[in-house]
Structure 1
Amino acid sequence: MLETYRKWRYRLVPDHILGEILSKRWIDNAIPFTALLLLLIGLYVSLPGFYSAYALGDYSRQFAELGLVTLALTIVMLGGGIDLSVGSIFAVSNFVALYCVHALGLDPATAFVLTALTGIVCGAFNGVLIGFMRMRAFLTTLVSLIIFRAIVDILLLKHAVEISSVFPESELWAEIGEGDLIGIPYTILATAVIFLFTHIVISRMRAGWHLVSVGGARRSAYNAGINVRRTVFFTYVVSGLLCAIAAYMYAARLASTGAETGMGMEMVALTAAILGGTSLGGGRGSVAKALLGGLIVLFLSNGLIQFGIQGGATALIFGLTLLLSVIVEVRWTKNRTKILNKVYVSPAYSALPPAPATAADSGSPYAQNNRLREVELIGLGDVEGPEDVILDASDNLYTGTRQGDIVRFFAPDYRRHEVFAHIGGHPLGMAFDKEGNLVTCVGGMGVYAVSPDGDVRKVTDQTNRSLTSIIDDSRLSLADDLDIAHDGRIFFSEATKRYDLHNWPVDALESRGNGRIVCYDPRTNRTRTVLSGLVFPNGICMSRDNKSFLFAETWACRISRYWFDGPKAGKVEVVIDNLPGYPDNINRASDGGYWLALVGMRGPALDLALKMPDYRKRMSRRVSGSNWLFPNINTGCILKFTETGEVVTSLWDLGGVNHPMVTSMREHKGYLYLGGISNNRIGKYRLSDADQAWQGMKSYWGDMR
């Protein structure tokens, strides 16, 4: 009964969803969005008429100004700085706008240009001191706050009466302040355009990526070649410009200035930015966060006014709100990774049948032997991590390395070698197409092709996104093996879409079915997923009927066949359903069968633990990853099986002397060439009963070239 409960509980309750939600970048917006929603509901219930049409119009004009100042401060904070002078820049710019229109009689367009230049100059003053002279942002902007405020006070003494005594007759000036389009104020429309443009720059353009990089890790950004000083400088310039635009809107709306203009705005904007989720430490924030924070502060301040709370009480409430926001932000930033690590790993229920016997005297087709003890070694110490091996029509041998290279060993003795191509990531499964291009899966990068001359090009690095997936599974995370159909379609396996190459033990711990098989069609240049929900698919081999392929599911210990053409198209058939170890690459044999690598052997402890997801979950939370139960890959073997799934040959090296683990093998002219992702060598094993003229490339393309 307990096992039945576990089976259905972990099948019906998707534990991994919580972790995937918490891993999303937009989860930071959930808290401010919830706070805004509760605030809006509370104001609606307690203040009848709060959302009248007139009130909403007034709120939107206020937000046009507050939102831009909040966005200005958000941009500076994204770059790892702080700007306490936004209120003073707002006041200076407001004075310039009013003086230009009221005292000088300039047209609103010219006044806008001069106001914007004022904000840019003020921002550049901060940017030079902080960005280029490397002064501390807090102290510098505190000083500039005092300086700009003093300038405003001096100018008001001379020109306040001159400004207030004139009422400009410009209709455009009045329209900017009070006009609307079908009930929507022009100022809020302009603000929406600015917000949208800023969002595109930050999230989709190089300048935004540089900004986030500088704020998140300034030294790393510098080492990556980003001009850190220039980036910081422009954050303050943009901040000054946005404050000036907000001040221009404010001047057009109220047409007045005074010593109180902009006073305290820096604290209001800072509260809004932090409430929205922008990090004080830099590198984490967005336009959406600025929008949410600004709306919260806007409605909170108007709500307090309508409740009759003003003066010091309002300042006290905002101060306490800011304090609470900082506490939440600091605690969330500090503990988010810990929380995510505890809930992201979500083991599933998996019950494997008892493993077949492998003892030497068992009479089993998997019976142990030491036939691989006779393996010859190629490239000992010259390659690291040769996960797959393949030979061309000229008998040259190719393999990938951890250094991101594809190395070619020259026939006939394979002593001389060269770097055939440098790709960057670790090349895994490989196959030749009919033009002689070497196509390979690269962990974390996708599928790449190398021409016979060594030119590298990307084939694909993404597929269609699943409609039900929370994480963005369109990007390929761990493409690991492939094969090519006669019509050129490339079918490749992605072992897991939740983890990368170095975290395969975590996927083994989950055994959830995070993998899939993907097809790239060169005729349409489109990539799509053809099979999903697979348990670490790893190993694909085209059948000789050219209508199906065999594939391995490593943690499920089975081999299956998928029909992609013919009357059975779309169907999956199990070929071998209970292996004694964990299957990896599959390749053709000269006698019509197939070779299969077992990367490691099953053990009773892990088989039992697979039926206990709660136990594995506790292990992932309480025990260091180096001490987890995970598949033993120290000893593996090679099997040969027929089209019907009958195992006819097994090859072992029990002592691990020459080839301690196997992830792939290729038959070629009477020899079996062995690869192993944890090895520093390639193995060569003599097959006395094999066709001495058989080649893998001719088996695929011999009748088509």
Structure 2
Amino acid sequence: MATPQMLPTSLLYVFIALLYVFSTVVSGQFNIFSKYDLPTGVSGPTSAAFGALSKGPFTTVNDGRILKWLGSRIGFVDFAYTTSTRSKKLCDGTTDPDLGPVCGRPLALSYQQSTSLLYIVDAYFGLLVVGPLGGLANQLVGGFKFLTEVDVNLINGDVYFIDASLTYELRNITQPGFTGDATGRLLRYNPVNKQVSVLLSGLNGGGGPAVSSDGRFVMVPEITVMRISKYWLAGPKANTTELLLNPSGNPNKIKRAGRVGEFWVAVSIGNYPRRPLIEPQGVRINSDGVVLQTVSFATQFFNRSVTLVQEQGGKLYVGSPRTTYIGIYSN
């Protein structure tokens, strides 16, 4: 086998260039940072979604609103909310967890391009949907303790979402002595017959599912036990589950990546159980659970967990419940 010293000069340059490209992909690109600041006094952008023609992003925040980005000159503006009990005077800017049942706390979004509908899961008010004009979202299904994430099947329009627990609510997780349980569920909502079915139960922690672009399976994270599983929706393995990956940290929301068959996972090393320092990462995997790339967000999200890593237009949009901005990483 030829060594680099034996190669002609032109081939040597190609060899070096390929090594550079390969090492860049493995070690992580996305080293240019910018951000979209939330309105003054607002925090907790835990999710993002992009509308038709990449409009947005839309994001969810602590005080119960869904905001929409209208460009650097305007910034974020109110777009939607999840309950008629919400008042701007009481709720805007609040960080009081006990106001969640009054103001709402939307945690995740999924935009359906074919219908221009924005699906929402609210920790207190269930699965909802809102049209392109925004306003008060329409509740599709309620009565849950703690919904955490949602994703729409691009093929048939079914909606997949996770109920993190049958026993505790979002506001309970910050209370002294809190311990999680294994009562989480993966659920499916059929928009045609308006029925909800339970696909998986006994899940540990919340996080968020991601349906493959071909609709054949859904990725399911379990935060507290550091596990990602694949639930098959179609094919010879339909209605079965297999372990896909045990990441090095706690996996939260999973989102489809720019390349078909790949996904981004928001991972926080040292979040559960709590270590002195949390290391937030974006981990890109393929449909077989092979890690393709790891990007560290430790500088801009120092000691903060991340709940969202979403690729859009060649950039990574990163969200955390403990920041006042959405981070944007580009190459």
TM-score tier, shorter chain, comes to: 0.7 to 0.9
Aligned partner (choices 587, 591, 595) of residue 259 of structure 2: 591
Shift in Å at residue 417 of structure 1? 2.4
Answer 1 or 2: which has greater helix percent.
Answer: 1
Which residue of structure 2 lines up, in the alignment, with residue 376 of structure 1? 34
Q: Counterpart amino acid of 1:641?
A: I
Inter-partner Cα distance in structure 2 for 1:379 and 1:437 = 25
Alpha-carbon contact 1:509-1:630 (below 8 Å) kept: no
Alpha-carbon contact 2:110-2:150 (below 8 Å) kept: yes
Q: Counterpart amino acid of 2:315?
A: Y
Shift in Å at residue 523 of structure 1? 1.4
Inter-partner Cα distance in structure 2 for 1:546 and 1:505 = 36
Alpha-carbon contact 2:44-2:60 (below 8 Å) kept: yes
Q: Counterpart amino acid of 2:59?
A: T
Which residue of structure 2 lines up, in the alignment, with residue 427 of structure 1? 106
- Deviating beyond 6 angstroms after TM superposition, the runs of 4 or more aligned structure 1 residues are none
Matches within 5 A, 1:399-414: 399-411=59-71, 413=72
Shift in Å at residue 596 of structure 1? 0.6
Inter-partner Cα distance in structure 2 for 1:572 and 1:675 = 29
SS state at 1:387 partner: coil
SS state at 1:502 partner: helix
Shift in Å at residue 505 of structure 1? 5.7
SS state at 2:52 partner: coil
SS state at 1:539 partner: coil
Shift in Å at residue 526 of structure 1? 1.4
Aligned partner (choices 285, 294, 297) of residue 653 of structure 1: 297
Alpha-carbon contact 1:653-1:659 (below 8 Å) kept: no
Whether 2:64 is the aligned partner of 1:385: answer no
Distance 1:421 1:512, change over 3 A: closer
Q: Counterpart amino acid of 1:584?
A: N
- Alpha carbon RMSD of aligned pairs, Å? 2.7
Shift in Å at residue 507 of structure 1? 11
Whether 2:223 is the aligned partner of 1:547: answer no
Whether 2:140 is the aligned partner of 1:459: answer yes
Aligned partner (choices 481, 492, 502) of residue 161 of structure 2: 492
Alpha-carbon contact 1:539-1:552 (below 8 Å) kept: yes
SS state at 1:444 partner: coil
Whether 2:314 is the aligned partner of 1:635: answer no
Matches within 5 A, 1:123-142: none
Whether 2:250 is the aligned partner of 1:582: answer yes
Aligned partner (choices 217, 232, 235) of residue 566 of structure 1: 235
Inter-partner Cα distance in structure 1 for 2:311 and 2:275 = 27
Aligned partner (choices 105, 128, 144) of residue 476 of structure 1: 144
Distance 1:506 1:642, change over 3 A: farther
Deviations 1:398-423 (A, max 9, x none): 00111111100024x47432100122
Distance 1:368 1:498, change over 3 A: farther
Alpha-carbon contact 2:68-2:78 (below 8 Å) kept: yes
Alpha-carbon contact 1:494-1:538 (below 8 Å) kept: no
Inter-partner Cα distance in structure 1 for 2:252 and 2:37 = 22
Q: Counterpart amino acid of 1:459?
A: L
Alpha-carbon contact 1:674-1:682 (below 8 Å) kept: yes
Alpha-carbon contact 2:66-2:80 (below 8 Å) kept: yes
Deviations 1:116-169 (A, max 9, x none): xxxxxxxxxxxxxxxxxxxxxxxxxxxxxxxxxxxxxxxxxxxxxxxxxxxxxx
Alpha-carbon contact 1:494-1:516 (below 8 Å) kept: yes
Distance 1:407 1:658, change over 3 A: farther
Identity %: 24
Unaligned runs of 5+ in 2: 1-25, 83-102
Shift in Å at residue 538 of structure 1? 1.3
Deviations 1:639-692 (A, max 9, x none): 101111111111113344679432102211111111111111101111x4xxxx
Aligned partner (choices 75, 83, 89) of residue 416 of structure 1: 75
Whether 2:204 is the aligned partner of 1:535: answer yes
Which residue of structure 2 lines up, in the alignment, with residue 335 of structure 1? none
Unaligned runs of 5+ in 1: 1-366, 462-474, 607-628, 689-705
Distance 1:414 1:631, change over 3 A: farther
Alpha-carbon contact 1:373-1:653 (below 8 Å) kept: no
User: Across the two proteins, how many residue pairs are aligned to each other?
Assistant: 281
Alpha-carbon contact 2:39-2:76 (below 8 Å) kept: no
Alpha-carbon contact 2:110-2:118 (below 8 Å) kept: yes
Whether 2:178 is the aligned partner of 1:517: answer no
SS state at 1:375 partner: strand
Inter-partner Cα distance in structure 1 for 2:304 and 2:156 = 37
